[in-house]
Amino acid sequence: MRFEGSLRDAAIACALIAAAVFAVYATRRRPGGPSRPKLPPAAVRGPEIPRTPVLKRPFAALPAEVRRRLAQRERERAQAEALKEEEEARRAREEAERALRAADEERRRLAGEEMSHLSSYRELLPADDAEYYGFLLRRFSDASEYGLNRPKNLEGLFLNTAFFAAGGWGKNPGFRRAWVYLFRALGIELAPEVERALVKTVQEIYEIGREETRAIETAVFGAPLEGGDPGYWEVVGYPPLADCEVAWEARNDYYMELYGEFLSRLKSLLPEEDYARFCEFLELFNLSS
């Protein structure tokens, strides 16, 4: 009997030791693993929630018609919100367009006043030079009249009509001098050597564009039209209008690049304040600077 009691006591002791070891192991944080949360004491956890029975009954779901009406009301509300936002956006666009039109009308008014002042300068010029000067002013007026409907390549169109159309006005010395008169009429006083350099720059821009014009027209027509041999076209017949429009657009696109080159040369040629004044003049007449 004493031996059996000793075995029982030993078994109980082993069980207690094993339980203690397991408890310590269970509460240890494994390497790389999350720590086990420790439950707060019962006093901290708060009072127990009274136990009540869980009712077993059918769920009172919304009837299909009620659900449909509620969904329809939600759709109508969303549509009303969308229409309200669309209307507000439309009014904002209209207001912005009105403001833009008002700004362009003011620009045109100022451009008209400036053109009247510039045109009066013709009276001070020799007759031949006055003709070229007036032609140059009309090209600026044409650019201004496009207003908000300006084509994307308006600067190229300006250079095309001013320098190269109708046989190439840029080849005439009077046209080159007209740029000097323009700067004088704008109140920009340039040194004589700068004025001569300006005339040379206009000539160089014309010569560069003339060669590209001949290349474009040769690619489209088979031979150059501007500055080409009139006898050739009298024999073969002039190109159709559709081909002329293709060549015209190609020229305008190229002259957009040449316009940038022209401004770049003027910027390096003119004093900073004088170039800034000229850029203001360009913007007044709807041309970028």
Q: Please list the rounded mean pLDDT of every run of 10 residues in the chain (289 residues).
A: 57 65 55 56 69 77 81 86 85 87 91 94 93 94 91 90 80 93 95 95 92 86 69 67 84 92 95 95 91
Q: Which two tokens stand for residue 92?
A: 């904002």
The amino acid at residue 94 is E
Q: What is the DSSP letter of 270?
A: S
Contact 131, 138 (CB under 8 A): no
Q: What is the pTM of this model?
A: 0.68
241-243-248 Cα angle (round to 5): 90
**pLDDT score of 2:** 47
3-state secondary structure of 168: coil
Q: What is the DSSP letter of 191?
A: -
Q: Which two tokens stand for residue 280?
A: 């203001």
Alpha-carbon distance 210 to 182, whole Å? 23
CA dihedral 187→191→197→201, nearest 10 degrees, is -10
**pLDDT score of 85:** 86
Q: Which two tokens stand for residue 99?
A: 């403001």
**pLDDT score of 132:** 94
Around Cβ 196, how many Cβ atoms within 10 Å?
Answer: 12
3-state secondary structure of 49: coil
The amino acid at residue 234 is E
Rg over alpha carbons for the chain, rounded to the nearest Å, is 44
Alpha-carbon distance 85 to 21, whole Å? 69
Q: Which two tokens stand for residue 206?
A: 């014309």
**pLDDT score of 24:** 54
Around Cβ 219, how many Cβ atoms within 10 Å?
Answer: 12
Around Cβ 286, how many Cβ atoms within 10 Å?
Answer: 23
With tokens 């510039």, the residue in question is: 118
**pLDDT score of 20:** 62
Alpha-carbon distance 177 to 140, whole Å? 16
Q: CA nearest 151: which of 255, 225, 240? A: 255
Alpha-carbon distance 222 to 239, whole Å? 10
**pLDDT score of 1:** 45
Distance of CA 97 to the CA centre of its chain: 17
